[in-house]
Structure 1
Amino acid sequence: MFRTRVNPSLSSITRNSSRTRTTTTHGQHYQYLQCSKLPTLYFQRSLPRLPIPLLENTCQRFLTATKPLLSATEQAETQSTVESFRQGIGMELHAKLKQHDLDHKHTSYISQPWFDMYLADRAPLPLNYNPLLVMKSDTRKEYQDQVVRATNLVISSLRFWRSLQADLLEPEVYHMNAKKSDNDSYRRWMKVAPKAFATYASYAFKAFPLDMSQYNRLFGTARIPRLGKDELVQSPDSKHILVLRRGHMYAVNVLDSSGYIESPSVILGRLRAVIKLDADREAATVPLGVLTSGQRDQWARTREQFVSNSKNADLLQSEVDAALFCVCLDGEEDGVYDENSQEPLLKHLLAGKATNRWFDKSISLLISADGTTAINFEHSWGDGVAVLRYFNELYKDTLKQPFVSTETAHTPAEGDLANVRPINFEIDDATRSAVQEAYNKNASIVDSLDMNVLKYPHINKPTCKQFGLSPDSFIQLAFQLAYRQAFNGYVGTYESCSTSAFRHGRTETMRPCTTATQAFCEAVLQPERSKPSAGELRAMIDQCSKVHGQLTKEAAMGQGFDRHLFALRHTAQKEGLPVPEIYETEAYRRINNNIISTSTLGSDALLAGSFGPVVRDGFGIGYSIQNDFAGAIVTTYKNQADGKVFIDSLSSAFDKICSVIQQSRSGSSKQ
């Protein structure tokens, strides 16, 4: 998963609007979500290139990061191995990487190897790669109805897409102080800045343009399984979406022959036609979407056999792969959202039975029977910045003033097989058997998944501000303390940080398990008689925050060590050289065995976010600090790691840290 903060604020949304928009369907107001004064890719040319860190800095950062995971003897051995690497083969590989980077100035040194890493992995997409983002619901019943919400989401998605295609979507810019820079004055200044230097002109406003190269893959993109390594295919000129209902697939036209978005009543009518068509059929006995949940080579072999039938090949390519995006309309039997028991629906949306999914699409909108909406996305093509921007814009647009409600008259589409097309494949026994096998394997994996949710009410954004705490460093410290007191140790911990401030940047790893967090955990768990004072413990918390902030800054500026080491090993493999000894060390193994894998998203639109553990005995932790609570959703595999023990320990860790803060404040106020 990923960690990112994006600019669009949702706090200004008008929530009391109860009327749907009336609009001219070919008018600019309907066809485009935004009409930016600055072209969408205005800053792309002037974005700085992702730097390659100095080799000595990478080596030192690696040693520092692995120290909490190693014994003194192991540290000494690692130091020796790293020093040999730095003075020997590491220098040669670093020079080759630098030269390759110079020869490919249009991109970043990590971009292609990172794509290759994703596409070559043979693990199933659900749980291993595809993350889940659940959107907050609309509190107005007339807009929360499943088909109504689906229609509004489809329209807003298309408005986003058309704005992007027309270069009218606002450029993605992170504003340090939105009040001072996210305004017309800033845009006027940017408009007269030479394109070659626009990014640097923006820096003067403390506004940081972000890479948008991934956005063109948001729509019309599919991951195609191939033996050994998958490929991404794009169909940007498509005019239909893929709709799934009870395992059946439908191609639904949403753009007219000229590429304009169809009217709201037409799209509403076509989605209602899908529901009516499906009501007259039994649920799919061979739900092909299950195949996308499988091991990639197995799916590749099945697909190759399946498309040997020319009808299947044509339908799969033209109707499924080429769809702009996927809409999954789930039934009552799939569950609805329950605030007091979130786990069943979250588990279903994250992976579930896979009978009503096509995990290979870049974006899938999942809409439950009660209108609960989520996005499940294929991860190889891009990271959180693009998806979260889309997610936020969708929420804002559908909430601000939606186009249809339960009162909207629709244009009937029953029998309109040109625009609402059931996709009827020819299923043979081999495909039937492959679907059943994939279903059984996925069901076994999903059944082994455990999910635990914590909402901690005593910590939130206002309290963090009041106590002078970094929310992210606070919650990451709590993860370390929770693991230490529950399982008596320290393990490889992963926090993703976006490097999208650079051209073709992807992510860098931030390592939250530090000697500072280790020192605090050991101190706070001491018996009362030997425990440091509250003031001393608070000073240790502040030191943890300082170190965490520095590591985050380094990662965001492309100065971590994980991607550099990854690229150096990739260079060795590409050049046919032996893998250097550093990659065989216990230190490298432990820090990359990410027992604790974490991801957070800063968004007022987000109800929940989740992903699977990245190792069998690990914890996948989606977390956030909201305005009224701190929350975490922890996934584990049963009999591999105990999520319930971790969640209980996390609550205790929050209590301990809060107690230290309160006692230290109380002590300082008495002095």
Structure 2
Amino acid sequence: MAEAHQAVAFQFTITPEGIDLQLSHEALRQVYVSGLRSWKKRFIRLKNSVITGVYPASPSSWLFVVIAILATMYTRSDPSMGLIAKIQEHLPVSQSLSAQCQTMVSAVLFSTLLWLSLIFTMRLCLKQLLSYHRWMFEQHGKISNTTKVWVALVRIFSGRQPLLYSYQGSLPNLPVPAVKDTIKRYLESVRPLMSVSEFERMSKLAVQFESSLGNRLQWYLKLKALWAANYVSDWWEEYIYLRGRSPIMVNSNYYGMDFLYVTPTPIQAARAGNTIHAFLLYRRKLNREELKPSRVPGTVIPLCAAQCERMFNTTRIPGEETDTVQHWQDSEYVAVYHRGRYFRLWIYKSGRMLSPREIELQIQKILDDPSPPLPGEDKLGALTAGDRVPWAQVRKQFFSTGVNKRSLDCIEKAAFFLTLDDDEQGMMGDDPAGSLDRYAKSLLHGKCYDRWFDKSFSVVVYKNGKNGLNAEHSWADAPVVAHLWEFVLATDSFQLGYNDEGHCKGDVDPMLPQPQRLSWDIAPGCEEKVNQSLAVAQALADDVDFHVFSFRDFGKGKIKKCRISPDAFIQLALQLAYYRDRGLFCLTYEASMTRLFREGRTETVRSCSNESCAFVKALESGEDEDLCRRLFRLSADKHQNLYRMAMTGAGIDRHLFCLYVVSKYLGVESPFLKEVLSEPWRLSTSQTPVQQVELFDLVNHPEYISCGGGFGPVADDGYGVSYIIVGENMINFHISCKYSCPQTDSHKYGAQIRQALMDLLALASPDQRQPARMEKAQAKKDL
């Protein structure tokens, strides 16, 4: 009751002597501090909006232009060529001002208009410069003079110290490829996957589509491209993610792992304290736009930052037909799950962020809380793991009023979600490989009810201090979350650190409010629906076969010495391994970004090409090594070209997808588009890039290696493969498939990948085979 009284700013009672008014000064102070913090954030947003709005100029440049114009007028010359006089004639307050004041005001107005015109011109020039992509297709180390001049101009027009969103107004729009070009590239991509008769039939459908319906649909896309910032992204988010009615757990969400070899502290509460504080530091940098704009590695070319806006305080809200992504401007707490109970953990007090040590003590209070879950509370999270329609119906029926609505709002409006897991995970014990597999499955789906899969991301901290995260996919793609996760891992270990006992550092305020336990009133009908969702999710989770392994025989260092792109090398190894595993080729998906364009997300690189298939067949049939080596390099060059085309807006699949959406809106059927969009991706791959190399000193601290992250299989009879190239000598792989498919086995495919990597290195670098030949020769002599 005392806590309830402290929460009330004032209370009054009516007595015979009059009204007795009692003020709670602490509560009023908290109201004042909270409001002050909110206004500070508004001011920062306004200031950043101004700075970003005038970029690539700066607000101070306005004063320079004004002074320059006034100085020129002082020399009795008219830089405006009569425009200042025209403005002076039409000033609405000219009668109340002296002639000198009228001239001064007119000059300032002209200077402002000139300044805005210069900004518009600079932004237009920068946009045109960023539309140039020929630099990407030039050979490594052979830069043309045109590209050198272009780089210099980009530097000039980029201004100084850009904020996170400074380039947004200067990024070019994603171009709409010609229907003819897209169909030509599509037919080329499926040629090695079809028989002669199948390819002829598909070619006829494609020609028929191009000559009839294609141009009509293309007209609508071009109209949208003129109007919208990106003709793909909104439809991609809605139709690929938000309109999906199957579970997002496993099917859509993905995960990120902790360090492979290091656990900074074995104390669960301490690891949670530093992790939460690091997330909050990132959020503060994000809100203040203090993060450096992401760029293409090794260049000055900026990438779109639009996906960062919904990183925190964001939740996917279920709907019966389509979900929505709800974002709130701010949140001062984190939602926490532990042993079937939900808590609100305040992360600010008196306008300041809690220190890591304070957060650790608050987490420890949750861990020490002996209270049992309320009836029906412990498995509520399963609603977010099951099918979307039942969850939308349950939310509307049981969580729209009363205590359930308040508690659900608390979770959905939280900065993010945190699970304090009672299990121990990581690479440990006598079975390091098996423990990594279990670690991956735990992060991907957990117990199916101990994560809130609708949150933009959920952090998991295990009993032994290991951590990880699970991210919802609709609001952003993996590189955006990976950038956040890299910062958190580096800040946790190298900036915040721990004391000798493994506890967090920082001062402690003894008057911190207790973590607030959330209340629920779960009806029997609601509990039944929870159990149904849990059954669906559990069946899906049990079917996932996962294998995580580190390939340490070599890394990008040796691959680069062969003068081959590491990504192309790995993709060809995946093709070779799949052919050896299944005896055939399949449609292969490799994710590529289109963030060179405004609001860009991803495009598909169809890694299985005519060149890659020819190479694999030649290698497997025992053809001459020189021929195989030449085909290998041709296929690697082809892959690089496909990747670059996807990045620069000349991909296939997003264009075809949008044409299909337009056909549905118009109510017309296209046999060609229907067949294209129904083709299964039996091999879905993605590279997790290391974006902030400067945060990790792998030379002096080689043990601080990230294990990367992964995702579930896209097709029921296919594989999902994620990989991260760490340093010069390691590649980590995450392989998923389904137990229910007898043709797939994650461990078997992993073994094939290992062997394929070794075989490709031996082929690309003949020196690698010399030791093996010498060993064989010596063995013969010994015999």
Q: CA deviation at 1:306?
A: 1.7
For residue 401 of structure 1, give the secondary structure of its aligned residue in structure 2: helix
For residue 687 of structure 2, give the secondary structure of its aligned residue in structure 1: strand
Report the residue type matching 1:59 in the other structure: I
Which of 340, 343, 346 aligns to 1:247? It is: 340
Q: How does 1:636-651 map to 2 (within 5 A)?
A: 636-640=737-741, 641-651=744-754
Which of 616, 624, 628 aligns to 2:724? It is: 624
Q: How does 1:8-407 map to 2 (within 5 A)?
A: 37-104=161-228, 107-117=229-239, 118-136=241-259, 139=262, 141=264, 143-176=265-298, 206-256=299-349, 258=351, 260-277=352-369, 279-281=370-372, 286-317=378-409, 319-332=410-423, 335-338=425-428, 339-341=432-434, 342-402=436-496, 404-405=498-499, 406-407=502-503
Aligned twin of 1:422: 517
Unaligned runs of at least 5 residues, structure 1:
1-25, 177-205
Q: Does 1:610 align with 2:714?
A: no
Which whole-Å CA distance do the structure 2 matches of 1:282 and 1:410 have between them?
A: 32
Indicate the larger mover: 497-506 or 132-141.
132-141
Which whole-Å CA distance do the structure 2 matches of 1:396 and 1:635 have between them?
A: 28
Residues 492-530 of structure 1 deviation map (CA, whole Å, 9 limit, x = unaligned):
11001011111000100000000111001111111xxxx
Cα distance change, pair 340–536 in 1 and its aligned pair in 2 (3 A): same
Residues 614-654 of structure 1 deviation map (CA, whole Å, 9 limit, x = unaligned):
11111111123333333322111113123233223223322
Report the residue type matching 2:187 in the other structure: L
Cα distance change, pair 101–268 in 1 and its aligned pair in 2 (3 A): same
For residue 647 of structure 1, give the secondary structure of its aligned residue in structure 2: helix
Cα distance change, pair 558–552 in 1 and its aligned pair in 2 (3 A): same
More helix by share: 2
Which whole-Å CA distance do the structure 2 matches of 1:280 and 1:315 have between them?
A: 17
Q: CA deviation at 1:135?
A: 2.3
Count of paired positions: 593
Q: Does 1:485 align with 2:607?
A: no
RMSD, aligned α-carbons: 2.6
Cα distance change, pair 138–66 in 1 and its aligned pair in 2 (3 A): closer
Q: CA deviation at 1:407?
A: 4.3
Report the residue type matching 2:451 in the other structure: R
Report the residue type matching 1:600 in the other structure: Q
Q: CA deviation at 1:414?
A: 9.9
For residue 634 of structure 1, give the secondary structure of its aligned residue in structure 2: strand
Cα distance change, pair 207–388 in 1 and its aligned pair in 2 (3 A): same
Q: Does 1:536 align with 2:624?
A: no
Aligned twin of 1:579: 669
**Kept after mapping to 2: 8 A contact 1:38/1:168:** no
Cα distance change, pair 584–386 in 1 and its aligned pair in 2 (3 A): closer
For residue 320 of structure 1, give the secondary structure of its aligned residue in structure 2: helix
Q: Which has the larger radius of gyration?
A: 2
Unaligned runs of at least 5 residues, structure 2:
1-35, 49-159, 694-704, 774-783
For residue 51 of structure 1, give the secondary structure of its aligned residue in structure 2: coil
Q: CA deviation at 1:491?
A: 0.9
Aligned twin of 1:4: none
Q: CA deviation at 1:38?
A: 2.8
Which whole-Å CA distance do the structure 1 matches of 2:706 and 2:418 have between them?
A: 19
Which whole-Å CA distance do the structure 2 matches of 1:409 and 1:556 have between them?
A: 44
Residues 553-579 of structure 1 deviation map (CA, whole Å, 9 limit, x = unaligned):
001111101000001111111223x12
Residues 414-460 of structure 1 deviation map (CA, whole Å, 9 limit, x = unaligned):
996x5511112111101221222222222222111111234333331
Q: CA deviation at 1:485?
A: 1.8
Using the aligned pairs only, state the percent identity: 27
Cα distance change, pair 257–500 in 1 and its aligned pair in 2 (3 A): farther
**Kept after mapping to 1: 8 A contact 2:707/2:732:** no
Which whole-Å CA distance do the structure 1 matches of 2:547 and 2:297 have between them?
A: 35
The higher-RCO structure (CA 8 Å, 6+ apart) is 1
Residues 335-367 of structure 1 deviation map (CA, whole Å, 9 limit, x = unaligned):
444333211121111112123210000011111
Which whole-Å CA distance do the structure 2 matches of 1:37 and 1:159 have between them?
A: 20
Which whole-Å CA distance do the structure 2 matches of 1:464 and 1:523 have between them?
A: 21
Report the residue type matching 2:646 in the other structure: A
Which whole-Å CA distance do the structure 1 matches of 2:391 and 2:205 have between them?
A: 41
For residue 389 of structure 1, give the secondary structure of its aligned residue in structure 2: helix
Which of 661, 676, 681 aligns to 1:594? It is: 681
Q: CA deviation at 1:664?
A: 7.5
Which whole-Å CA distance do the structure 1 matches of 2:711 and 2:263 have between them?
A: 29
Aligned twin of 2:15: none
Report the residue type matching 2:603 in the other structure: E
Aligned twin of 1:462: 557
For residue 370 of structure 1, give the secondary structure of its aligned residue in structure 2: coil
**Kept after mapping to 2: 8 A contact 1:239/1:256:** no
Which whole-Å CA distance do the structure 2 matches of 1:568 and 1:588 have between them?
A: 11
Cα distance change, pair 625–238 in 1 and its aligned pair in 2 (3 A): closer
Indicate the larger mover: 64-73 or 645-654.
645-654
Report the residue type matching 2:681 in the other structure: N
**Kept after mapping to 1: 8 A contact 2:448/2:541:** no
Report the residue type matching 1:348 in the other structure: S
Residues 522-559 of structure 1 deviation map (CA, whole Å, 9 limit, x = unaligned):
11111xxxx32222211111111100000000011111
Which whole-Å CA distance do the structure 2 matches of 1:420 and 1:413 have between them?
A: 14
Which of 657, 671, 674 aligns to 1:566? It is: 657
